């Protein structure tokens, strides 16, 4: 399970870090060791307070949607550097007032590059100042030798040197509308008497000492749910999707899935080809069967054409072809040696035209007489010799 790890640069090429769920001593190492230690963890980079400045500024309601674009120019007169060289990260807005964290754009590029080589994704970059524990109506002071950090509001604070700390805090007290009721001082292994002597008189009586080191203090401040921390990774520096990390985790599954898709596609193509070949063979066979019944004429849709012919033979106002021909066939088979050469049927007139071959003209007349005995009209429309046999054409009507 992923957990957050706080990490800060400690000299060139080295880092210090503390995983939040361990609550043990922090670890020191280079980027490679950090990568091995934090492969499954989300990283929050803690940067020096001196690298970030904080401001609170009011804005008009109509500016809200374009605040990220307009705010740098609203603050331009209060800044020493060119706004194009600075990065502005917005905090929460309260009553049309927004807190802003400002840092050099080059700083962000440098901090991100520290982890790029090891492919470690930093999910947040926050100032150490905003990790100092804070509560309403109080100030928080961290002392590390000659370096002092002061957080005097939910968003604001600054770093200062020991020799100007008393003057800086006195000026802040003089300008504050609400004086602090408590000063929490984090100073591990420090002389409390010496530190107290360096505080303004107004603060000496409200000091509460915390014997915690730097990382214990950051851990306490990070886990405060109600304190606002501005993540500098906003705008153009906002996190993209971690494609490389996902690819490492899902590479094998992706390869297996892609292989399965390719195999399935190949199987589908082969199956389709086989079915096409079968369909072609079946159509050829159907056409051959159709030609065995209807030797002449165009072939467009043999199945439909055959059904149409059968319908013509079975339907209509006169007797059905099948019943008609069945009766005629019984009359013809009574004449020995007689064969049917051709049959044409017209449904509209209920008329059957036969071409028969008989041994003699008498056999033709016998066949015609047998048909008329069935109650049909049999008309001889023509005869001619066919070798030693006689060919005759009969028209039979119901």
Same-domain status, 118 and 137: yes
Same-domain status, 186 and 296: no
Q: pLDDT of 72-108, one tens digit each?
A: 888 888 888 888 899 999 988 888 888 899 999 998 8
Q: What is the mean pLDDT of the chain?
A: 84
Question: Is-contact 187 162, C-beta < 8 A?
Answer: no
Look at residue 375 and tell me whether its pLDDT is greater than 90.
no
State the sign of the Cα–Cα–Cα–Cα dihedral 44, 47, 53, 54.
positive
Same-domain status, 373 and 319: yes
Same-domain status, 180 and 42: yes
Q: What is the predicted pLDDT for the residue at 126?
A: 92
Same-domain status, 102 and 248: no
Same-domain status, 35 and 149: yes
Q: What is the DSSP string of 32-69?
A: HHHHHHSTTSEEEEEE-GGG-EEEEEE--GGGGGGHHH
Element housing 309 (H / E) = helix 302-314
Same-domain status, 110 and 177: yes
Instruction: Name the residue range of residue 217's domain.
Output: 4-240
In a domain, 265, yes or no: yes
Q: pLDDT of 215-255, one tens digit each?
A: 888 888 888 876 678 999 988 888 765 555 556 667 788 88
The model's confidence at residue 314, banded by pLDDT at 50, 70 and 90, is low
Q: What is the predicted pLDDT for the residue at 168?
A: 94
In a domain, 310, yes or no: no
Average pLDDT over residues 319-334: 78
The model's confidence at residue 161, banded by pLDDT at 50, 70 and 90, is very high
Same-domain status, 353 and 368: yes
Question: Is-contact 80 53, C-beta < 8 A?
Answer: no
Question: Is-contact 16 7, C-beta < 8 A?
Answer: yes
Same-domain status, 282 and 212: no
In a domain, 360, yes or no: yes
Q: What is the predicted pLDDT for the residue at 318?
A: 45
Average pLDDT over residues 254-258: 85
Helix (H, G, I), strand (E, B) or coil at 114: helix
Average pLDDT over residues 20-37: 78
Same-domain status, 150 and 51: yes
From 240, 269, 291, give the residue that closes a domain.
Answer: 240
Same-domain status, 266 and 349: no
Which letter does DSSP use for residue 266 in this model? H
The model's confidence at residue 21, banded by pLDDT at 50, 70 and 90, is confident
In a domain, 306, yes or no: no
Q: What is the CATH number of the domain that holds 375?
A: 3.30.1360.100
Residues present in the chain in total: 398
Same-domain status, 347 and 386: yes
Helix (H, G, I), strand (E, B) or coil at 155: coil
> Domain total for the chain?
3
Q: What is the CATH number of the domain that holds 103?
A: 3.30.420.380
């Amino acid at each position: 399970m992923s957990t957050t790890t706080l990490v800060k640069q400690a000299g060139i090429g080295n880092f210090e870090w503390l995983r939040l769920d361990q609550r043990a001593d922090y670890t020191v190492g280079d980027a490679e060791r950090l990568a091995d230690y934090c492969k499954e963890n989300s990283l929050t980079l803690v940067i020096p307070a001196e690298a970030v400045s904080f401001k609170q500024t009011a804005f008009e309601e109509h500016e809200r949607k374009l605040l990220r674009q307009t705010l740098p120019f609203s603050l331009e007169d209060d800044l020493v550097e060119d706004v194009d060289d600075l990065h502005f990260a917005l905090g929460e807005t309260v009553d049309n007032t927004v807190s802003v964290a400002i840092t050099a754009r080059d700083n962000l590029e440098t901090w991100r590059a520290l982890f790029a080589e090891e492919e470690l994704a930093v999910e947040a970059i926050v100032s150490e100042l905003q990790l100092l524990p804070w509560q309403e109506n109080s100030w928080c002071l961290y002392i590390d030798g000659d370096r002092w950090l002061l957080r005097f509001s939910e968003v604001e604070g600054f770093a200062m040197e020991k020799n100007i700390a008393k003057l800086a805090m006195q000026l802040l007290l003089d300008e504050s509308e609400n004086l602090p009721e408590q000063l929490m001082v984090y100073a591990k292994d420090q002389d409390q008497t010496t530190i107290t002597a360096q505080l303004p008189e107004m603060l000496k009586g409200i000091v509460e000492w915390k014997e915690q080191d730097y990382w214990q203090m950051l851990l306490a401040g990070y886990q405060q749910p109600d304190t606002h921390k501005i993540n500098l990774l906003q705008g153009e520096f906002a996190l993209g999707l971690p494609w490389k990390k996902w690819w490492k985790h899902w590479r094998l599954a992706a390869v297996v899935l892609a292989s399965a898709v390719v195999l399935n596609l190949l199987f589908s193509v082969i199956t389709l080809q086989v079915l096409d070949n079968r369909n072609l063979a079946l159509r050829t066979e159907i056409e051959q069967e159709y030609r065995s019944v209807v030797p002449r004429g165009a072939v467009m849709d043999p199945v439909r054409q055959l059904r149409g012919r059968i319908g013509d033979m079975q339907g209509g106002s006169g007797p059905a072809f099948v019943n008609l021909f069945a009766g005629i066939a019984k009359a013809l088979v009574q004449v020995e040696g007689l064969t049917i050469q051709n049959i044409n049927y017209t449904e509209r007139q209920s008329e059957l035209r036969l071409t028969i071959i008989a041994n003699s003209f008498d056999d033709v007349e016998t066949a015609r007489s047998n048909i008329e005995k069935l109650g049909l009209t049999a008309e001889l429309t023509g005869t001619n010799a066919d070798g030693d046999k006689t060919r005759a054409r009969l028209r039979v009507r119901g």
